Amino acid sequence: MSETAVFQPLMNTYKRIPLTITRGRGSYVWDETGRKYLDLTSGIGTCSLGHVPDRVKTAVASQLEELWHCSNLFHIPAQEKLASLLAENSFGDQVFFCNSGAEANEAAVKLARKHAREVKGAGATEIVTFTRSFHGRTMGAMTATGQDHVKEGFSPLPEGFSHIPFNCSESLKGIDVEKTAAVLLEPVQGEGGVIPSDPAWIRELEEFCRKHNILLMTDEVQTGVGRTGSLFAYEQYGITPDVMTLAKGLGSGFPIGAVVAGSKAAASFGPGTHGTTFGGNPLACTAGIATIEEMIEKGIPEKAMACGNRVKEKLNRLAEELTEVTEVRGKGLLLGLELEVEAADIVTEARENGLLVLTAGKNVLRLLPPLTISPEEADRAVSVLEDIFRRREATAV
């Protein structure tokens, strides 16, 4: 380091927005100056019940007085209760808890390979994923990701992953069924541009996997826990995966990930096959229980679907009139606007107008509000975006 260099204690792994958030409540956050922002990022789809939801806050505060951490060598009641909630409200039979979406996907890959070795033989190790997919930043999850730019500089990458085109029936013919352990996909690709699966194609994929004894694994790290208008996105497609990964919205901001599996796949994990120190700790699982119970009891996914349809309808009308917006897509409150301009420019203008939004690639604006956002707040967000686009078009003439 040169003598004139300024010391930065944090590694430079994030291109940070010039904003310091100090407080959050509901659909809003405040910066260090006290300025208020309508938050359509929700921690990248994590604070699904809004910031500091009362039910989760109360549950975690109570747990803080009792026990923070306990090794998985012992029974953890909150972990067992959350696992039961997830199993009872999904296709799954058993659950493994970890700390993040990337960890959940890594565990799913291990489970798939162990299962394939037992039912197909040692040669079935391949994990098939899709172009433009995103599965995490750890070495395995990064290699599973179907975007080359996230892998630059990290070779050699782990073997045993391949990528085929998304929503393409022809691409299934290229899968080596004897060597493939599992197919891993996002029902709606998030980081890749907010691209929903084609319903007919994803059902064809399920049938293909069943026919060739390949595990179908859905990465619902971003789409799960109500985000797309049902508790889990796979439900809207009429399919039943063998394995599902969760994180983001599961803990209302507390670090937690999960692998949900049917009994046949889950049976391949036994004592000593996988583990984690912090995964499934009492604090995170208490947050998860309160989150899931609130989701179900208050009908949050259904409200998210209604609000998402409302927002999407308004944005589609705008897209017909605006030259910079070419397409609106997504499900529930996972929405993307394909633009003719760089989405980062709109993110900056929105922030200057008190609205926080995200990108999903160079030309896609991504909206991930809390699922509890009110119709009035959603209308305000659309109004801010409309004003930005109309002002840009007026100045471009």
Residues 176 and 236 in one domain: yes
Structure tokens at 346: 């709109």
- Provide the pLDDT confidence category of residue 6 given band limits of 50, 70 and 90: low
Rg from Cα positions in the chain: 21
Question: 350: pLDDT confidence band, cut at 50, 70 and 90?
Answer: very high
**Residue 148 placed within a domain:** yes
Whether residue 4 lies inside any domain: the answer is no
b/e sequence 222-243, b meaning 16+ C-beta within 10 Å: bbbbbbbbbbbbbbbbebbbbb
Residue pair 227/45 in contact by the 8 Å Cβ criterion: yes
**Mean pLDDT of all residues in the chain?**
96
Average confidence (pLDDT) over 285-309 = 98
Indicate the number of domains in the chain: 2
- 311 inside domain: yes
pLDDT at 101 over 60: yes
Give the pLDDT score at 253.
Answer: 96
Residue-wise pLDDT tens digits, 257-279: 999 999 999 999 999 999 999 99
Residue 144 lies in domain = 67-297
pTM (2 d.p.): 0.95
Last residue of a domain, one of 259, 277, 297: 297
Q: What percent of the chain has pLDDT over 90?
A: 96
Same domain, 280 and 307: no
Q: Residue 332 contacts by C-beta under 8 Å, 6 or more apart in sequence?
A: 226, 227, 228, 229, 230, 301, 304, 305, 308, 371
Residue 31 has pLDDT above 60, yes or no: yes
Domain boundary among 297, 319, 345: 297
Per-residue model confidence (pLDDT) at position 2: 45
Beta bridge partners of 126: 180
Is residue 144 located within the same domain as residue 161?
yes
Whether the pLDDT of residue 110 is over 90: the answer is: yes
